[in-house]
Amino acid sequence: MVGVDNRRKHNAVERRRSLCDAAIALLAEDGPRGLSHLKVDRRAEVPDGTTSFYFRTRTALLHGVADQLVRYDAEAFAAAFKDAPIGDGDVIATRLARQILSIREDPQLSRTRARLELSLLARGDPVLSENFAQMGESFRGIVERLVIAAQPEHGPLDRDLLDEQISVVLSYLGGRILAFASGSAEPLASDDIVRQLRAVIAGVAAVRPTVG
């Protein structure tokens, strides 16, 4: 009996995952207006009514998709940065660049487009807002490691400068993410993004007014 229960739980988890994957694909193609329980059923090739059984309402479905995207992000960051030396800015920048470039192809392309569509709904939904806050904090943490590693070796860290550099780098990467999600064919390689990241960090420090 225990074995049967475990199989049922496992099957339920896998079914939810496959339904969310189908919903992600639909969001990426048509946005929230193109998402419905029936369309998810058809995309996932399951009997009609399956999605509404696991996600009773459309809001529940959107929350399930957001949870799935958070898990995918966590898995991607863990795989990309788990053994990256904390103080090695070159390694961090290269791996971050590869993560950004992966957006140009599926499954990252569809996931990114779905994430962008859901982000527009997050303002009026506390659950979605919390999920996107988690994503943002994980991403910011990686950028902060990069920015700290890029600071001069001698002297104390300037927290105000770090915060400004992090903010500008996040804006730069946000632009790249949006461009790739929109189908930009700009011929960028990993080395190009690494070079631009360094330029952004150094540029903020160079033009910042000296205090005192």
Please write the tens of the pLDDT for every residue from 4-61: 455 555 589 999 999 999 999 999 999 998 899 999 999 999 999 999 999 999 999 9
120 pLDDT higher than 80: yes
200 pLDDT higher than 80: yes
**Please, which pLDDT band fits residue 186 given cuts at 50, 70 and 90?**
confident
Q: Are 115 and 134 in contact (CB under 8 A)?
A: no
Over residues 132-159, the mean pLDDT reads: 88
* Alpha-carbon span 160 to 208, nearest angstrom: 10
Kindly report the pTM of this predicted structure.
0.86
pLDDT at position 1: 47
* Alpha-carbon span 19 to 28, nearest angstrom: 14
Residue 45 token pair: 């090739």
What is the per-residue pLDDT across 56-115, written as a single tens digit (0 to 9) for each?
Answer: 999 999 999 999 999 999 898 888 888 877 778 899 999 999 999 999 999 999 999 999
Q: Which amino acid is present at 201?
A: I
Structural domains in the chain, CATH included, are 2-207 (1.10.357.10)
* Alpha-carbon span 184 to 181, nearest angstrom: 7
* Alpha-carbon span 29 to 42, nearest angstrom: 15
Element (H, E) at 79: helix 58-81
Q: How many CA atoms lie within 13 A of 49 on its CB side?
A: 0
